[in-house]
Structure 1
């Protein structure tokens, strides 16, 4: 049985992403981890084969713990990308009406993504933050009381709560990008992406010169973010996503030039996009 980790507890969007990718449960055993750090370190030490973690949300942006650890703390490859639509549900006991609900529990990001709905429908309810949406559902399910949780349909089924309302997120185009991580390199698929992190010398125009390399080789850059280098105030590293795979000639040539002209370079993976 191959061990696959995900950001727990059971009932999270991470488990949903893991189930969509590792769907043969006769071959894989899914194991929840309490934090992204615990999960990535377990893969790095070889305690589990692979892991599934969030790396970016369409509203909240990059998941900094994931990108920072991939850059500085572990040696893992992104092997695949899975994008999960984020659908938030209001979960609780049907015995209580909306105007009776005194508390709404969930992860801070989930509360933020449903801010307008919660303010409109239960303005007097106290917002209580939990470590995850699944933990909020578990807590509400533990005692029949006028409380509700913002969580997933998967968590509602696992903990036996009723769906009080569906799709309560304020922005309907809300998606989270998850990545499958492991020691091996990712496979080439029909649609691929390449991710890397690098830094440049602190000179005028250095970043432009690096990025111009991709234009010269006709490689499309789909994302760039900066993060502190963790060495000195004012110094940054840059994470970029590119369309294509390192086995493609133009990508290979572009990355060779970038590697020669950067002060720090790390390929995070070249991998298939699962749709």
Structure 2
């Protein structure tokens, strides 16, 4: 068998031309297209990684901001709760002080009204007692009221105990002025003379005596020798009445401490 070298050469040439054409027209465009596509993919991947990193950074930033906001919110809530608690305590304290002030004011007004009522009641009762005593003395004594007062005073002065008489004598020895005698009703000259003789006999023989009136004695006499004072008046009749009045007042819901007028002697 003979080899047609011309045909072989032609086939080789055709094969090389085919390879060159494939390389030129098919393989290189395909590889170039693949390279370009790979580059685009890599670029997009890089952009995606960058975007992902940016998103993660933004997410972290937002997370930090959220934590900061939560912390600030908790702090604001704590401050608000503390402020509300302080305000409540302040309002409660102000309310307590206001209620206490109102209570004191009410008690003061109540005390004033109570004292005024008690004073008017005692005054009215005292005048009634004076009227009753005056009627009794006028009906049964058979003499004037002032004379009865003077007689009673002289008897009481004569019957003073030794200690009270000693105090009056000592006061008279130290006194610079006269003895003072005050009565609830005007005394007649005879009654004044009777009292003056009793004072000279029992206290100070040479002292002068001044006379005056004091409606507050409520049918009685007061003897003032220097700093010593002796009083006999109808006030002792008011002691029991005032106790009864206190019970009535306390029974009506008003409680107070009453200072009773001295009914016998004071020094």
Band the TM-score falls in, shorter-chain normalisation:
under 0.3
Q: Name the structure where strand makes up a greater proportion of residues.
A: 1
- TM-score in terms of structure 2 length: 0.24
Structure with greater Cα Rg: 2
- TM-score in terms of structure 1 length: 0.23
Q: Name the structure where helix makes up a greater proportion of residues.
A: 2
